[in-house]
Amino acid sequence: MEEKKFKVYLKEKQELIDSALDSLLSREDIFPMILHRAMRYSVLAPGKRIRPILCLAACMAVGGKEEDALAPACALEMIHAYSLIHDDLPAMDDDDLRRGRPTLHRAFNEGTAILAGDALLTLAFEVVAVAKRLTDRQVRQIITELAIGAGHRGMVGGQQADLNAEGKTITPEELKYIHSHKTGALLVASVLCGAIIGDAGPKQMVHLKKYGQANGLAFQIKDDLLDIEGKSAKLGKSTGQDKKAEKATYPSIWGIEASREKLKEATATAFALLESFGEEAEPLREIARFIGEREA
């Protein structure tokens, strides 16, 4: 797929997801209004929608129907939005800016930010549980993958390890754990959910899981590099945060050049894992390229 065509593809999918999210979220005039306003403020803020798009693209790559994957794709974005809200809280990163806007606890208040995050995490599971286009088996499998990716064996576990590591010297293995759990686990779950919806075969599942892991690694290395080299205006958040918090990152352990090399290797691995897939996996290939080259 040429670059221009992929940009159109991304925009089209972002609009599809935004419109589905809009209809899944409660209206702002429903009591308690502040909670619903807060949920919408965070979820509908301009984000890349990488996780839901990965879910749609993985479903298509194994011959599934995109519309079947739309509700679980939205659930992934809700979980992601909750994680950003809680990550920005004073007890965690204490950030002022997210997606180019004041963070939720700054725009509203801390209590509402905690509750909006909690509500989004639980709504995500409800959205999957009631999805009409899925079989009971698919619902059970998707809920399992979401829980593994988001919970103590996934994102929350990675976030805890990250909190513990602040201001400390950590080993490359510990850094790998943090990255693969904090960021990688939900990206892997995104791909696996799409594969489940498209009824992927066992071999395809294995390849797509590894593709998700390679993508997760590439995503996090790029995130670390952008925190040093990126432009705050483009990123919609402050840069230099990792250094300020004395966080261990790929560049702080390996240096910038070696990190760029590792990023290239991870992208190449993601590509190689899609070799046995046909034309339908083209969006997955482009997403891997995009993750490595993105500026935001």
Residue 13 binding ligand GRG, by CB under 6 A: no
- Judged by CB under 6 A, does residue 176 bind ligand GRG? no
- For residue 86, state whether it binds ligand GRG (rule: CB under 6 A): yes
Among 37, 99, 105, 260, contact with ligand GRG (rule: CB under 6 A) = 99
Binds ligand GRG by CB under 6 A, chosen from 17, 42, 55, 87: 87
If one asks whether residue 84 binds ligand GRG (CB under 6 A), the answer comes out as: yes
Question: According to CB under 6 A, which one of 36, 37, 181, 182 is a site residue for ligand GRG?
Answer: 182
Per CB under 6 A, does 48 bind ligand GRG? yes
Report if residue 259 touches ligand GRG, rule: CB under 6 A: no
Contact window for ligand GRG (CB under 6 A) among 11-19, 78-86, 130-138, 254-262? 78-86
Q: Does 83 bind ligand GRG (CB under 6 A)?
A: yes
Return the HEC string of the chain: CCHHHHHHHHHHHHHHHHHHHHHHCCCCCCCCHHHHHHHHHHHCCCCCCHHHHHHHHHHHHCCCCHHHHHHHHHHHHHHHHHHHHHHHCCCCCCCCEECCEECHHHHCCHHHHHHHHHHHHHHHHHHHHCCCCCCHHHHHHHHHHHHHHHCCCCHHHHHHHHHHHCCCCCCHHHHHHHHHHHHHHHHHHHHHHHHHHCCCCHHHHHHHHHHHHHHHHHHHHHHHHHHHHCCHHHHCCCCCHHHHCCCCCHHHHHCHHHHHHHHHHHHHHHHHCCCCCCHHHHHHHHHHHHHHHCCC
Q: For the segment 109-148, give every residue that binds ligand GRG (CB under 6 A).
A: none
Q: Which residues bind ligand GRG (CB under 6 A)?
A: 47-48, 50, 80, 83-84, 86-87, 99, 155-156, 159, 182-183, 220, 223
